[in-house]
Structure 1
Amino acid sequence: MSAAEHPELSKVDSAIAIPAKEEKAPDKGKHRRTSSQTEGVYNIKDLEEKKIELKLPIETQKTGWKLNTPPSTIEDRDILKLHLVNPPVKKIDLHFPLGLEVTARNMKGVTVKDALDAIYKQFKKKADDEMDMPYLAGFEWDKEESWTSLIVHQTKNGPKPVTSKKSKKKDKEEA
């Protein structure tokens, strides 16, 4: 049998009938997911361009947290869930007066815990006597100095120990 006897099967036709290796479309799993970009969380540089001012929750000013202890040691753990600044940002630099700078990051908005974790990472190996001011006094945003960072304030003394009613009763009984 030749190609002339069966016109539908020619060498050209048979080459077409064999599926050629198709060019694969680029794998879709390689691009960044947009779901990780939470709505309402900004890039701090965008806020600077739009001149949107940052606001700090007042709770961050009275943590009494010691810089070389884990953030979980804070008495009021609820403040750890708060956003460090409003509107929430993906990352922010924390600037210490002596020049140290750490960056807190969270794609869903930097929380107080993220900031304290970043600070703790720098101070966890320091002994108490190595630090002049071991306690966090709070954060300050000064748009004149730097729109994209917060100034970290420290203090020598931690919070005054809170005496519970039970310990006061024991003191009275002993007296």
Structure 2
Amino acid sequence: MAEPLTRVDSAVQGLSESPPKEKISHRRASSSVAGVQSMKDMWETRTKLQLAPETQRTGWKINTSSSHVEEKDILKKPLVTPMVRAIDLVTDLGSVITARNRQGVTIKDALDAIYKMNKKRADDELDKPFLEGFEWAPEYREYDEETEKGRKEMEEEWQRLIIHLSPTPGVSNFSSKKKKKAAAAE
């Protein structure tokens, strides 16, 4: 009975360490969609954004649901490329609205975020009730990257879009195939 043990037994061998545990990741796998990045990542890599041209002159009233947009096809299109999970939208008065979608922010997500902020406002309360479009400031602006103030301003504007409103509904340059076919038939 004095045979040596062939099996490793922690009580016999005097091992005090437990087996290494896997590091727990706090990011859910479902929230990571391929090709969709955060605005922070865009800033760090200095990736330039391109706005969807369909967002300009939609004729949409900001205190009505996004379902009132004439061109329903544009609602499914991404607001910016490359696609992002969330983006801040800034009004003329400086209020910030965040449009979110883990699969990539669409034009509908942006319109819904704007509508949520303005849905209780009456028509006569709004000086400029129609969406004219969005602007990404770094595309048109020069920054002084040598100063701390210039870098901070560039970072702030890199991660947001400016909302432009109009007192009159704009006419979209983009029309659906149905309207083109109807016009061609006449």
Q: TM-score range by the shorter chain?
A: 0.7 to 0.9
Contact 2:91 2:164 survives alignment (8 Å):
yes
Structure-1 separation of matches of 2:170 and 2:72: 15
Structure-1 separation of matches of 2:113 and 2:52: 18
Equivalent position of 1:157 in the other structure: 168
Structure-1 separation of matches of 2:26 and 2:41: 23
- List alignment gaps of at least 5 residues for structure 1: 1-25, 165-175
- List alignment gaps of at least 5 residues for structure 2: 1-20, 142-153, 172-178, 180-186
Q: What percent identity do the matched residue pairs reach?
A: 52
Equivalent position of 2:158 in the other structure: 147
What aligned pairs does 1:73-152 form with structure 2 within 5 A after superposition?
A: 73-143=68-138, 144=141, 146-152=157-163
Structure-2 separation of matches of 1:157 and 1:31: 47
Return the structure number with greater relative CO, CA threshold 8 A, min gap 6: 2
**Residue identity opposite 1:108 in structure 2:** Q
Q: How many residues are paired up? A: 142
**Residue identity opposite 2:168 in structure 1:** N
* Cα RMSD for the two superposed structures: 2.7
User: Between Structure 1 and Structure 2, whose CA radius of gyration is higher?
Assistant: 1
Residues 64-112 of structure 1 deviation map (CA, whole Å, 9 limit, x = unaligned): 1000000000010111101110000000000001111100011100000
Residues 19-65 of structure 1 deviation map (CA, whole Å, 9 limit, x = unaligned): xxxxxxx9xxx954313211000011111111110000111002110
Contact 2:132 2:170 survives alignment (8 Å):
no
Taking structure 1 as the reference length, the TM-score comes to 0.72
Runs of 4 or more, structure 1, over 6 Å off, are: none
Taking structure 2 as the reference length, the TM-score comes to 0.68
**Residue identity opposite 1:149 in structure 2:** R
